[in-house]
Structures are given as C-alpha cells and as structure tokens.
Chains A and B, each alone.
Chain A
Amino acid sequence: MNKYNPFEKILIYFGIFVFMTFILLPFIEMFYASLRPLDHLFRSPYQFYSDDLSFWAYQEMWNTVPMLGRYIFNSFFLASCVAILTLIFVIPAAYAYARFKFPAKNTSLYILLAINMFSGAVILIPLYKLLRTLGLLNSYQSMIIPGVAFLIPTAIWLLKSYFEKIPIDLEEAAFVDGASRVQILRHIIAPLSTPGLVVVGIYAFIGAYAQQFLFAITFNQKKEYMPIPTGLYEFIGYQSVKWNEMMAAALVGMLPVLLLFVFLQKYIVEGLTAGAVKN
C-alpha cells in the first residue's frame, strides 16, 4: 500500500525540495552572506559565486557593534528570568487543574486559551503607563513582567497535560496511608514530573526569547538592557549596512534557540499538538 513507483518518488522528492527551499532559503542565504566579503555582496545583479569565503565576519562583528556580547547576554538573561518566573506561577496552577475538581474549572481554562489570542499590542498603552508610574521603564523588569503574562496560559495547558499523565493512584495510596500533601509533593510528584517541567521550562525559554522584540522596542530605550533581536539593528545605520556581519550576528543570535529546539522538538511538538489534535 505504501510502495511508490519511481515516478511518484521523484515527484514527491521534487515537491519536498521546493517546499524546503521556501522554508530554508532565508537561512541558507543568511549563512552564505555571512561567509562572503562585503564587496562581493555589494555587486548588482546578485553574484552566485564567491571564491574567498571565510569566517572573518564572525570575528569582525564584535568590533563593529561593541555591545553585541552584552545583547546576547541580555537575551539569555531575560529569557531565563521569564522562564523561571513562568514556572513558579504555573506549577501550582497546572497541578490544581490536573488534580482537583472545583467550580469554574473549565471556564477558567477556556479563558486562559482566549488570553493566548490577545497580542501584546492591545494592552501596551496601560502597561506603558503602569511601568512608567512604577519607574520601571528602561529596565530588565519592563521586558520580563509582560513577557511572563503571555507565557502563563500555554504553559498551564502544557504542564497540566504532563501532570495528568502521572497516575493519580500513587498519590491517593500515599494519601490514604497518611502521607501529608507536602510529603506527596516531595516524594511522588516532584521526581515524576521533572521531565515535564524541563520541557515546559524550555518551551517558556524559547517563547520568551522569541517575543522580546515588541516589549524591547516599546518599554526600553537603554542600550545596556537591549536584547539581541533589537541590538542587531545597530548594524544598520552606519554609512552602509555591513550585511555579512549582521547575518553572522543574526545566526549566532538564533543558534541557542535552534539547538534547544532540535534536541527537544519531539516533546514540545507532542505537547502542543496533543490539545488541538486529539482533544
């Protein structure tokens, strides 16, 4: 049934090739541009071939934008803070949703889903005023605080489904035998849910890393706190754009998320699609 004749095979591989070209062309072209000398890039029409490819741009970019290292650190720092805070808020809530029966349980879960649909842009004005009143504009906090809010809903749904996979019988047996809730938490739930927590934590990290741009351009003007997605724009605006160095820096900036994702894509995709597909 699943055998293909050679003609069908060629057709499918050709289709995959076209599809993949669309998806990967920007990355391939970014990488290629990062390896080429600037005067080769500045030839019109586009030259397909360069003979002196090098990783020179990957060294020079740190001189062109001296704060580049700081921006990369900021991105990591912001994303880590957001991920950790998200976990702190989400773990108890997800556990309650997975284990307890209480009024308004389903309604509130659907409200969480609905929140996911609001982009940050709708609430930027009050948030801007709030952060200004609190004196938090132009600080790390101005990017962390809204970041956490937009990750909580999905993280609750994801983690809830991990908790639900842990059989409740274990907990109930311990409870009947007189174990306290704290003991159950330490000896049963914590060890069994560690893999789920890691996945949700990484999901939050990737999400936080990805959403930095909007909050950074709106709430922060200070270079010291800029994350890499906004910091990269410093390559534009000198006499000419140093495209090769900008592409090199962009690739370095996206590498951490890509690596994390490649290692954990199976778990993250499973978790995210489970809700939409089976349920």
Chain B
Amino acid sequence: MNKKLKSYTTQTYIAYALIAPAALYIILIVAWPLLETIRLSFTNSSLAGEDYVGLENYQKMFSSKKFNGIVTRTFVWMFFSVSLKLIIGLIGAVLLNANLKGRSIFRVLVMPPWVVPIAIGMLGWLWLYNGYFGIIAGVGMRTGILDGPFGFLAYKQSAFISTIIADVWVGTPMVTVFFLAAMQGVPRDLYEAAYCDGASRWDRFFKITLPQITPVIITMSLLSAIWTFNSFEIIWILTEGGPRGSTTTLIIDTYKQALGNYKFGRGAARAVVVMILLMLFAGFYLALLARINKKISHE
C-alpha cells in the first residue's frame, strides 16, 4: 500500500507528460526565437533574403556614436524611473497602511494604472501633455510658470521627463501594492514590543518596518528595473522615440531598426544586446531570490 501511495507523486513520466504541452509551446514561441535572433544578428537579413556577414552588424553598432548614446540614455531613463517608482511606491504604501477610515477603498483605487491597457492609459497622458489645451500647460499658463502654450512632448528635455513621469504612473501601483503586502506581513508583536519600550512612530518605521521589508524592496527594485528596461508602449505612443531621438531607448531603437526599416539583421544585433542585459538582470534576480529563500528556510 505504501509503495502505491508513494507512486502517486513520483511517477515522473506522468509529470513530464503533463508539462510537455506548455514546455513545447514555450520552446517554439520563446526559446527558438531567442536563438534565431542570435543567428540573425550575424546576417544582413531583410525581407529580400539573408547572407552571412559575420560581426559586421556588431561592429557598425558599437562604433556608432548614436548607439552608445542610446545605451547611456536607456540607463539614465531607467535610473530616474525606477527610483521614482520605489520612492513614491514606498510613501504610498506607508500612507495606505495607516489605520484610517477609507483605506480599503484607496487600496483599490491605486490599481487602475496597473490594470488598464497601457496603450489606452497613454491616450489620457497625450491629452494631459497637450501644449495648447492640456490641463498641465493650462495650469502652467494660468499661474504664470509658462508664458504660452508648451508642448511637453515636443522638446528634448521635457519629452524625456514626460515619458519618465508616464512610466512612473504605470509602474507605481504595483510597487505600492507589493510594499503594502509586505508591511502587512510584519508581525504585530514587534510593533507592540517597541511601542511598550517607548519607540516613536518614526523609530518604529525605520527600525522595524524598513528592515523587515528590505527583501521585498530589493526584489521590487530589480523587477521594476527589468520592466522599466522593457518599457516600449509608453515611449512609442507618446513620442515614438523623438523628438530627434531624445527618448529613444534600446527597446525603441531595436524595434525601429527591425520592424520600422525591416533590417532584421541590424535589429537582431540590438536585440541580442537587450537579451544579454536582461539575462544579467534575470541572473541577479534569481540569485537574490534563491538567497532569500535559503535565509527563510534557515530561520
């Protein structure tokens, strides 16, 4: 009998058979295209056909000043966007964690930017950023900060900042929700003990809450770095990478090369750079996750 019971969870061929459809799907639609992208990056593939060209795509790419600018810009854009998401998300989570009336409603109300299709939400931002008729330009003009209509997406610097703000808007809700969940997982007796010892609310936040949720903060920093790096729709819809390339990040550049000009080879070389960077991020993330899991199982 016991042997039979054991066989219930150890018949590996059944497990593999159950996993096979999903695994094959992923291999065909994700894994194979990843490898194929690497192969294409060594060719001059286009709609007309392809020839092997060795490292030409890479040489051209790395020697172009424009490309190096794009890499730097991507990281600057990411840095500001991720930092703002984390800071605003943390403040938001603290506020929504306060034991006050209405907090359960506010917790639902933070989520819409996260759930709504980005392409639709960005239509709202296009309207907000409108230089003549939008509310932001309007408030600016009425308060005298702006001396006339101002197209936020029409100038290099303001477009750069505007796309960051829209990206922060999309990403903050998720960060807030995760931080909030982490804060609620902190054992209550820690706070009670500190309260009895006379710790102020401020002390309790810095000495209990913050250290307790640090693993989640680190995880979320990495995860949102990855998502921000991948952010495509926001920039594409607001500026298409413009004006004059000022919001062109790696992802946007990859897309433009590959599917704007149908220069598959050049696009693939950029996609490989994106892939390598993503693998680095993913490696960090998984190593971190493994460490956190190990620590938890030790405790």
Q: Which A residues contact B (CB, under 8 angstroms)?
A: 1-2, 4, 9, 12-13, 15-16, 19-20, 22-27, 29-30, 33, 41-48, 88-90, 92-93, 95-97, 99-103, 108, 110, 112-115, 117-119, 121-130, 145-146, 148-150, 152-153, 156, 168, 171-172, 175-176, 181, 206, 209-214, 218, 228-230, 232, 243, 246-247, 250, 253-254, 257-258, 261-262, 265, 269, 273, 276-279
Q: Are A117 and B115 in contact (CB under 8 A)?
A: no
Cβ-defined contact, A101 with B9, below 8 A: yes
Q: Chain B's nearest CB lies how many Å from the CB of A88?
A: 8
Complex CA gap A89/B18 in Å reads: 9
Q: Shortest beta-carbon distance, A1 to chain B, in Å?
A: 5
Q: For the complex, give the distance between the alpha carbons of A16 and B103 in Å.
A: 9
Please pick, from A22, A103, A232, the residue contacting B120 in the complex, using a CB distance under 8 A: A232
Are the C-beta atoms of B135 and A29 separated by less than 8 Å? Answer: yes
Q: Which residues of B contact A172 (CB under 8 A)?
A: 5, 8
Q: Which listed segment binds A: B54-62, B64-72, B154-162, B274-282?
A: B274-282
Among A90, A112, A126, which residue has its beta carbon within 8 angstroms of that of B32?
A126
| Distance of A1 Cα from B193 Cα, bound (Å) | 11
Q: Decide if A145 touches B251 in the complex (CB within 8 Å).
A: no
Complex Cα distance, B9 from A172, in Å, reads 9
Quick check: B21 and A123 within 8 Å, CB to CB? Answer: no
Min CB gap B168→A, angstroms: 9
21 CB contacts below 8 A, A to B, read: A2-B99, A25-B135, A46-B142, A89-B25, A92-B18, A100-B18, A103-B12, A113-B286, A123-B271, A124-B259, A125-B36, A126-B40, A146-B29, A152-B26, A171-B8, A172-B8, A176-B1, A210-B117, A210-B118, A228-B117, A276-B220
Contact B25 A1 (CB under 8 A): no
B25 to A149, Cβ gap below 8 A? yes
A125-B37, A214-B232 are known; give 6 further A-B pairs, CB within 8 A: A1-B192, A23-B112, A25-B135, A29-B128, A176-B5, A228-B117
Q: Which residue of chain B is the closest to A150 with respect to CB atoms? A: B30
A254–B120 CB distance below 8 A:
yes
A16 near B40 with CB under 8 A, answer no
Report whether B177 and A89 are in contact in the complex, using a CB–CB cutoff of 8 Å.
no
Report chain B residues within 8 Å CB of A47. 138
- Bound-state CA distance A212–B119 (Å) is 9
Give 1 or 0 for each of B16-50: 1 = CB within 8 Å of chain A CB: 10110111011001101110110010000100000
Contact with A along B122-163 (1 / 0, CB 8 A): 011101100011110111011000000100000000000000
Q: What's the nearest-Cβ distance from chain A to residue B4, in Å?
A: 6
B75 within 8 A of A: no
* Residue numbers in A under 8 Å from B32 (CB-CB): 126
Which residues of chain A come closer than 8 Å to B139, judged between CB atoms?
46
Bound CA span A214–B182, Å: 32
Cβ 8 A contact of B34, one of A123, A261, A273: A123
Contact A258 B115 (CB under 8 A): yes
Give the residue name and chain of the A residue nearest to B47 (CB): A132
With known contacts A19-B92, A118-B30, A96–B18 Cβ distance under 8 A: yes
Q: How far is the CA of A117 from the CA of B283 in the complex (A)?
A: 11
Does more than half of chain A's interface fall in helix, strand or loop, or is it mixed? helix
Determine whether the beta carbon of A276 is less than 8 Å from that of B233.
Answer: no
**B21-A89 in contact (CB<8A):** yes
- The distance in angstroms between the C-alpha atoms of A28 and B299, with both chains bound, is 47
With a CB–CB cut-off of 8 A, which chain B residues contact A128?
A: 259
Q: Does B63 contact A (CB under 8 A)?
A: no
A258–chain B nearest beta-carbon distance, Å: 6
Residues in A whose Cβ lies below 8 Å from that of B251: 119, 121
Contact, CB under 8 Å: A121 / B255: yes
CB of B10 within 8 A of CB of A277, answer: no
Q: Which residues of B contact A122 (CB under 8 A)?
A: 34, 37, 254, 271, 274-275, 278
Assuming the contacts A262-B108, A277-B216, asked whether A125 and B264 have C-beta atoms less than 8 A apart, the reply is yes
A232 to B110 alpha-carbon distance, docked (Å):
25
The closest CB in chain A to the CB of B296 belongs to: A279
Q: Are A277 and B138 in contact (CB under 8 A)?
A: no
The CA-CA distance from A101 to B185 in the complex, in Å, is 30
The 4 A-B residue pairs whose C-beta atoms are closest, nearest first, are A46-B138, A119-B230, A26-B124, A123-B33
Report if B268 contacts A (CB, 8 A): yes
Instruction: Indicate if the CB atoms of B177 and A45 lie closer than 8 Å.
Output: no
Give Cα distance in the complex from A92 to B110, angstroms. 34
Interface flag for B52 (CB, 8 Å): no
CA distance A42 to B138 in the complex (A): 12
Among B8, B121, B138, B172, contact of A175 (Cβ-Cβ < 8 Å): B8
Report the minimum CB–CB distance from B286 to chain A (whole Å). 5
B111 within 8 A of A: yes
Tell me which residues from 275 to 298 in chain B have a Cβ below 8 Å from any Cβ of chain A: 275, 278-279, 281-282, 285-286, 289, 293, 296
The reply to whether A46 and B119 form a contact with Cβ atoms under 8 Å apart is: no
CA distance A109 to B108 in the complex (A): 30
In the assembled complex, which residues on chain B have CB atoms less than 8 Å from the CB atom of A118?
30, 34, 230, 275, 278
**Is B241 an interface residue, CB under 8 A from the partner?**
no
